[in-house]
Chains A and B, each alone.
Chain A
Amino acid sequence: EDQVTQSPEALRLQEGESSSLNCSYTVSGLRGLFWYRQDPGKGPEFLFTLYSAGEEKEKERLKATLTKKESFLHITAPKPEDSATYLCAGHGSGNTGKLIFGQGTTLQVKP
């Protein structure tokens, strides 16, 4: 069964303290690994898609990387406005377009 697992469930950082969020996946025929940001009470906002092992993408203080078994979201020198829940999702083989979501990592950055 396809599965996506994120760790840790919650992460507290001081402003400027860099860290990484992990997304482990077992998705048959992975066609894409997606990262989203979700603020409380709002819909997820698309951040990145990674399509093959070794691929990296960056946006401001965020960098996403992909291996054959996991993906990392690296946060460099975070600011309080980076506080949110970060969701990881895998797109497997088949034509359904279905994304398999992890349970998310809730990040809190304190000033």
Chain B
Amino acid sequence: DGGITQSPKYLFRKEGQNVTLSCEQNLNHDAMYWYRQDPGQGLRLIYYSQIVNDFQKGDIAEGYSVSREKKESFPLTVTSAQKNPTAFYLCASSVGGNKNIQYFGAGTRLSVL
């Protein structure tokens, strides 16, 4: 089945620790995105990548880092510089271009110990 796989489903971070969230897609999509979702707020864009080996900051990139070494993979690292990391993280992908229908993974819930 084609889709977007996020792992793990739940993740706990200790003080001062970096953690990495995985996102893999087998839809052959060029573009991939990371969003953060907090209660009562809309999804906010962290980083996006429109092509392999290239990515751009979104609206709330501080304290996060990404890489795009393969078309199907777009991991997100939450660094110790992100002081309020507790949230639901969503990865999405799209064909790109004008139509830009984004399809989402099931999400990773990150909590701080």
Residues of A within 8 A of B (CB): 4, 9, 31-32, 34, 36, 41-46, 49, 87, 89, 91, 95-104
Contacts and interface: CB of A to CB of B under 8 A. Distances in A.
Given A97-B96, A104-B42, A44 B104 contact: yes
A37 to B, nearest CB: 11
Given A49-B101, A87-B42, A98-B58, 5 more contacts: A43-B4, A95-B50, A97-B31, A98-B45, A103-B41
A34 B104 contact: no
A41 B106 CA distance: 8
Which has the most chain B C-beta neighbours within 10 Å: A31, A36, A44, A100? A44
Nearest to B50: A97
B70 interface: no
Contacts of B48: 96-98
Interface residues of B, number: 29
A97 B4 CA distance: 18
A97 B90 contact: no
A43 B42 contact: no
